[in-house]
Amino acid sequence: MNFIQHNIWLVIIAVLSGFMLIFPGLRGKASGAGEVDPTGAVQLINHENALVLDVREANEFSSGHIANAKHIPLGQLSDSAKTLEKYKERPIVVNCRSGSRSAMACSTLSKLGFTKVYNLKGGILAWQQAQMPTVK
């Protein structure tokens, strides 16, 4: 106890550092979405019939996308959510270029009641880096 009283700033810094390490994992859980790497996404697609949702803009999508991906740009997702209702019980792997827009899309889908939503960590860039196929 004496150590804590004399080194309160060190203790505060240690606690904050620990929280900052844990927070990114908690943020994904709080939004109702998980993250998957390209290998995990392939497993969801092959074993659980996951839908791939690409939220990039049309020109990005046409330059190359994951096979059988459904294309709904992030800006149109809220308005087009009804078209996804039939996939509500299936896992949905959401991707964009790098993973930022798809994280926002995952949050939107979670708020709309989709429970099996996964953000493709690193987006289509990670997918291509893992040498996974894309189609045009």
pLDDT tens digits, the chain, 136 residues: what are they? 777 778 888 878 888 777 767 665 554 444 457 899 999 999 999 999 999 999 999 999 999 999 999 999 999 999 998 899 999 989 999 999 999 999 999 999 999 999 899 999 999 999 999 999 999 9
90 close to 116: Cβ distance less than 8 angstroms: yes
- The predicted pLDDT at position 32 comes to 54
pLDDT for residue 30: 44
pTM value? 0.77
Rounded CA separation 79/100 (Å): 20
- Whether 79 and 96 map to the same domain: the answer is yes
Structural domain tally of the chain?
2
Residue 134 lies in a domain: no
**44 and 95 belong to one structural domain:** yes
Whether residue 135 lies inside any domain: the answer is no
User: Residue 119 pairs with which residues in a beta bridge?
Assistant: 35, 94
Choose the catalytic residue: 36, 84, 93, 96.
96
pLDDT of residue 37: 95
Question: Are residue 99 and residue 111 in the same domain, yes or no?
Answer: yes
Domain that includes residue 10, residue range:
1-27
> Do 73 and 101 fall into the same domain?
yes
96 classed as catalytic:
yes
Coil, strand, or helix at residue 63? coil
Residues in the chain: 136
